[in-house]
Structure 1
Amino acid sequence: MKHTPQKSAGPAVDVLVIGGGNAALCAALMAREAGASVLLLESAPREWRGGNSMHVRNLRCMHDEPQDVLIDAYPEEEFWQDLLKVTGGLTDEHLARLVIRHSSGCRPWMRRHGVHFQPPLSGALHVARTNAFFMGGGKALVNAYYRSAQDLGVEVRYDSAVERLELDKGRFVAAITASGERIAARACVMACGGFESNIPWQREAWGQNERGEWPAENFLIRGTRFNQGVLLKFMLEAGADRIGDPTQAHCVAIDARAPLYDGGICTRIDCVSLGLVVNRDAQRFYDEGEDFWPKRYAIWGRLVAQQPGQVAYSVIDQKAIGRFMPPVFDGTKADTLEELAALLGLEPAAFVKTVHDYNAACRVGTFDHTALDDCHTEGLTPAKTHWALPLDTPPFYGYPLRPGITFTYLGMKVDETAAVRFDGLASPNLFVAGEMMAGNVLGKGYTAGVGMSIGTAFGRIAGVGAARACGYTHPEFEEEMSEVSHAAAH
């Protein structure tokens, strides 16, 4: 094998941050605020900077009373129960509650770095109480953080993918880039994403199913093409303690016509709970009305991944129009069920029977798509437990679905310090944040905005930890985290 000569990086920096999204930027800003010199390496070119954070829209926030852009209250215990439900208990409660408590107080800091929030939204997501939305979305948030980083003197390099680290018994020494450059630093924060964009790794993780299919070959990537998981794989092979199942991910049912990469939020199909979903055999396979869409939308990608051909179809009638966020692609429209089936490539008789069986099972009470209403089915498997209205009002609409991977949950195990661990021992100067450790909180499932909660909390914690490893302190954050830790202990 030919070895590329390593080039000197010049004087060592205090804190090296690897990654360019929300968690990395939070770490870089916090370390710089503490007084450390900071170099941030982003693998993408400048125009694609920000990783998956470009596509985010909001932050899930705990609050005990109305706060600026958040209405009513969303107390810790309700947030925790929401997280517990979607993860099925596959979460570290201590770290989850740390994230939840941190979410209650991070917005003033975000505002100081140029992030703006918009007034509560109305519409299909029903999250004005639980989530704070960014003015201008994730792209505006990322741009604000980069501007603030520049103003504070953080050095940023684009097109700078890191392939491996130089380690000494768990201590970070230097990073080696794809070009062979060796960059030494006194401490390091890794926040460069999961392996969602690495289709061969996805294929290996998911394997072959009983039908002889390789499901991952039909996956679409909702976010950045640059999250290849190169450094994650290196760290796991280097012996970092791991967390998470490689097949678990933020996996959403998105429009099958979406691009392979970077489709973002507009490719999501949000009418699932207002109609029914069938696979390519025209059979239903899950309760479309199990819970509010923001709590359950991220289970549907995995459900579709388990269906033949990794494809499904969300079907509604005219009554649903105006009650959900319209997707970027128009639905297939037809005046009869038989015509819709033919247009979608479904066997008409099987599809019509599925719809008629569903219609006959509907027990319509008081329909309310903003509440867990009493419209449900009886004698139908699987049941539809809420919002069950017959599909009987043409025109009918169908949307093809594919699994859309946002980010993967396989990562590195951490504690409340965000330090990477080797055989249970914390590294003194190597930290991790964002997707690379989100599996500690998200063993499976997802609820809207919690990825940003995790990235913001652990990005800030990791940045302060890295600065502390270099001899710097951040008194304001130390006080904030002391209060959070005290609350967590009780």
Structure 2
Amino acid sequence: MVDVLVIGGGNAALCAALMAREAGASVLLVEASPREWRGGNSQHTRNLRCMHDGPADVLVGEYPEEEFWQDLLKVTGGRTNEALARLVIRASSTCRPWMRRHGVRFQPSLSGALHTARTNAFFMGGGKALVNAYYRSAERLGVKIRYESPVEQLEFDGRRFIAAYVGAERITAGSCVLAAGGFESNREWLRAAWGQNERGEYPADNFLIRGSRFNNGALLRFMLDAGADRIGDPMQAHMVAIDARAPLYDGGICTRIDCVSLGVVVNREAARFYDEGEDFWPKRYAIWGRLVAQQPGQIAWSIIDAKAVGHFMPPVFPGARANSLLELARELKLDDARFMQTLDTYNAACRPGTFDHTQLDDCRTEGLAPAKTHWARPIDTAPFFGYALRPGITFTYLGLKTDQTAAVHFGGAPSPNLFVAGEMMAGNVLGEGYTAGVGMSIGTAFGRIAGSNAAAAARKERVDAAA
């Protein structure tokens, strides 16, 4: 028997394991994946959104609590628990020294990562390096780690955790932290959540899984069936419009297409369907997966011209390229006449302004629906480029309700020794929408809280058992 059992192997789980071990608890971490795929979705990340009141190491300027909160409030449409959101925001301002002690290194914002030098701390080597640093630190401190050990069932005495099962093996512990991710790689659950649209399609059939193939939601399903209080909408997720040629699983950050705000996006009917210039890309990139999911066939194309090149992070895979818009339409197999009408109408609606991709400029359209409110310039300079887009799910928001202690709740009451962190509880903060780096902020904050409280709960279990 160990003091603390941590179920999961990503950022939140590792933060919990490290904090519990630092508090003196014996810790066992069980990860569903093989060692080479360890880290869950965290291996695909690259930064953490951080509050700071002035320049701080790799962060420039200031990003105060209220601005962070307003950014989160805007992207979630108010669907967030303010107390827990502010807890995450404040915790993000103090976590970096602790992360460094466990081997994480930071670097300045990448030159192509627009507007994040002030708000986000980038990991040197990306999420894989962060995950590996945490695993090295955990092993050095004596955390026991087991791979290929999925947990799909727990044992309770009322609200109190007793044991977890890896297959038929029963593992007892004084306390437990659940950090096993969402259900994004469970196609049947996605199908059930999204259902059929008015065209008789199952949108989920065309989703790509940007995150881990091992996040099948088995433990989350068990917890919900066992009566744990739920939070979040199963249709809500961190969903990005990614390269349609991306792999089915684990495409990660390299599948993003970041030129949307610099051109136009059309669906398979060659029609625009949303304002591409609504706000800065890091604040709005995560709405585009859902927007594409609502289009016929769950596919769209981002169209740019030569003027946009150099103003965004280049995609890993080259897009279609043509010397005229008509040639591009044919290359993309879109209706020639409709495509040209859409582009001609858009170009005619663009009003002169001073283009500046680093701020909300005055380049906009007039008399066009949907409008493009910023960075609207005619697409008229060869060569022209087109990138096919599909919805790419990073993680789902349906999860377990919790409070500032990270305890799992049953019937409104907290468990004395069962805690939750990361994607399994992110829906408490993210009712919808996303802004870059906030998932890592949530996982780091609640992972550390859960680990500390799990260690304290295990100590209490020992004291109570000895009394």
Within 5 Å, give how 1:242-321 maps onto structure 2: 242-321=230-309
The amino acid of 1:225's aligned partner reads R
Structure 2 counterpart SS, 1:162 = coil
Q: Does 1:44 align with 2:33?
A: yes
Q: 2:105 matched to which residue of 1? A: 116
Question: Is the CA contact 1:71–1:120 (under 8 Å) kept in the aligned structure 2?
Answer: no
1:178-198 deviation line (CA, Å, top 9, x unaligned): x31100001000001000011
SS in 1 for 2:99: helix
Q: In the alignment, what sits opposite 1:326? A: 314
Task: Supply the distance in 2 between the matched residues of 1:117 and 1:41 (Cα, whole angstroms).
Answer: 27
User: Are 2:142 and 1:153 equivalent residues in the alignment?
Assistant: yes
The 5 Å alignment of 1:28-177 reads: 28-177=17-166
- In structure 2, what is the equivalent of residue 335 of structure 1? 323
Q: Report the more deviating stretch, 312-321 or 337-346.
A: 337-346
CA contact (8 A) 1:115 1:141 kept: yes
Secondary structure at the residue paired with 2:156? strand
Query: Does the 8 A contact of 1:166 with 1:175 survive in 2?
Result: yes
Q: CA deviation at 1:119?
A: 2.4
- How far, CA to CA, are the matches of 2:55 and 2:200 in structure 1? 53
Q: Which amino acid aligns with 2:299?
A: V
- Say which SS state the counterpart of residue 152 (structure 2) adopts: strand
In 2, Cα distance between equivalents of 1:186 and 1:322: 55
Which residue pairs with 2:465 in the alignment?
A: none
User: Which residue number corresponds to residue 7 of structure 1?
Assistant: none
Question: How many angstroms apart in 2 are the aligned matches of 1:367 and 1:126?
Answer: 16
Distance in 2 (CA, whole Å) between partners of 1:310 and 1:142 is 33
d(CA) in 2 for partners of 1:292 and 1:107? Answer: 26
Instruction: Decide which of 383, 403, 415 is 2:403's aligned counterpart.
Output: 415
Offset at 1:364? 2.1
- Report the 3-state secondary structure (helix = DSSP H, G, I; strand = E; otherwise coil) of the residue aligned with 2:452: helix
Q: TM-score, normalised by structure 1?
A: 0.93
Deviations 1:104-154 (A, max 9, x none): 000000000000001243224220000000000000000000000001000
3-state SS in 2 of match to 1:79? helix
Could you tell me how far apart the structure 2 residues matched to 1:157 and 1:151 are? Answer: 15
Cα distance in 2 for partners of 1:228, 1:363 equals: 48
Are residue 467 (structure 1) and residue 467 (structure 2) matched? no
For residues 355-409 of structure 1, give each alpha carbon's deviation from its aligned partner in whole angstroms, at most 9, with x where no partner exists. 0000011012100001000000010000000000000001110000000000000
Give the secondary-structure state (helix, strand or coil) at the position aligned to 2:107. coil
1:349 aligns with 2:311: no
Shift of 1:429: 0.2
Letter in 1 for 2:323: D
In the TM superposition, what is the alpha-carbon distance from 1:223 to its structure 2 partner? 1.3
Match of residue 383 from structure 2: 395
What percent of counterpart residues are identical?
Answer: 78
Equivalent residue for 1:358, pick from 339, 343, 346: 346
Letter of the structure 2 residue corresponding to residue 196 of structure 1: E
Give the drift of 1:170. 1.1
TM-score, normalised with respect to structure 2? 0.98
Map of 1:378-457 to 2, 5 A cutoff?
Answer: 378-457=366-445
The residue matched to 2:19 in structure 1 has which SS? helix
Displacement of 1:336 after TM fit?
Answer: 1.1
Equivalent position amino acid for 2:223 in 1: M
Partners of 2:236 and 2:7 in 1: how far apart?
24
- Please say if residues 219 and 405 of structure 1, whose CA atoms lie closer than 8 Å, have aligned partners that are also in contact: yes
- Partner residue, 1:484: none
> Aligned equivalents of 1:455 and 1:190: distance in 2?
12
Secondary structure of 1:301's aligned partner: helix
Alpha-carbon distance in structure 2 between the residues aligned to 1:125 and 1:307: 27
Counterpart amino acid of 1:434? G
CA distance in 1: counterparts of 2:292 and 2:366, whole angstroms: 24
1:471 is displaced (CA, Å) by 1.9
CA contact (8 A) 1:124 1:323 kept: no
The unaligned stretches of length 5 or more in structure 1 are: 1-11, 473-490
- Residue pair 1:411, 1:436 contacting (<8 A) in 2 also: yes
Give the secondary-structure state (helix, strand or coil) at the position aligned to 2:394.
strand
CA distance in 2, matches of 1:229, 1:119: 35
1:192 counterpart residue number: 180
**Matching residue of 2:190:** 202
Taking the aligned partners of 2:362 and 2:423, their CA distance within structure 1 comes to 38
The separation in 2 between residues aligned to 1:138 and 1:285, in whole angstroms, is 33
Q: Which runs of at least 4 in structure 1 moved beyond 6 Å after TM superposition? A: none
- Cα distance in 2 for partners of 1:403, 1:176 equals 34
Distance in 2, Cα, partners of 1:382 & 1:121: 32
- Tell me how far apart the structure 2 counterparts of residues 117 and 328 of structure 1 sit (CA, whole Å): 23
Q: Does the 8 Å CA contact 1:281/1:350 hold for their aligned counterparts? A: yes
Query: How many pairs does the alignment contain?
Result: 461
Distance 2:327 2:195 in 1: 36
- The whole-number CA distance in structure 2 between the counterparts of 1:23 and 1:404 is 22
State the Cα deviation string for residues 309-358 of structure 1 (Å, max 9, x = none).
00000000000011110111101001111111111110010000000000
Residue 6 of structure 2 corresponds to residue 13 of structure 1: no
Question: What is the one-letter code of the residue matched to 2:30?
Answer: L
Deviation digits for residues 216-271 of structure 1, max 9, x if unmatched? 00000011100000000000011100000001000000000100011111110000
- 1:357 aligns to what SS in structure 2? helix
Provide the C-alpha distance between the structure 1 equivalents of 2:98 and 2:85, rounded to a whole number of angstroms. Answer: 21
Distance 2:392 2:109 in 1: 27
Unaligned runs of at least 5 residues, structure 2: 461-467
CA distance in 2, matches of 1:86, 1:377: 24
